[in-house]
Amino acid sequence: MAQYRLSANDRGKSVLEPLALVESPFENGPGEFKGVGGVVLGSATRVMLMRFESGSHPGFHRAIPAFAVLLEGALVLTPAEGSEVLLQPGDAVRIEPMARGTWRLGNPGAVDALFAVIPMPPPPSGEPSEG
């Protein structure tokens, strides 16, 4: 999968250049989340890119409202109850708020997986939430 950066140069002209997301600096998570690194692309309220190293299977955790897309590799999404799903590149997930310890992601593949997460803030008070 190709990644690009579209920006403007110092003269205001459009520039399109290759962008290797996997080469971005990732931080490893704490404890059982070692092997899962995250980096924020732009505003923290916009996009977070997570890299799951091959063979990583961090523990169950809580979900924030978000929309996520698997960009590269494969991930297994496992709810605390129910059947797991194998995500392939391009597969998307709408994540709704849940209690702590209700889902997990793991990388069963031989290569790292890249997972883009776009947090969805709650609607302003007084507005109905989209169902």
CATH number of the domain within which 84 lies: 2.60.120.10
Q: Is the pLDDT of residue 97 over 80?
A: no
- Section 55-76 average pLDDT: 85
Evaluate if residue 40 carries a pLDDT over 80.
no
DSSP class of residue 128 equals P
In a domain, 62, yes or no: yes
Flag whether 108 is in a domain. yes
How far apart CA 17 and CA 53 sit, in angstroms, is 26
Q: Which residues are registered as beta bridge partners of 38?
A: 27, 50
Q: How many helices (H) and strands (E) does the chain have?
A: 0, 11
With a cut of 90, say whether residue 100 has pLDDT above it: no
pLDDT at 89: 94
Domain around 93: 25-119
Residues sharing a CB contact under 8 Å with residue 98, sequence separation 6 or more, in sequence order: 62, 63
Does the residue 3 lie in any domain?
no
Which residues, in sequence order, are bridge partners of residue 103? 61, 79
Task: Note the pTM of the prediction, 2 decimals.
Answer: 0.70
| Higher per-residue confidence, 45 vs 46 | 46
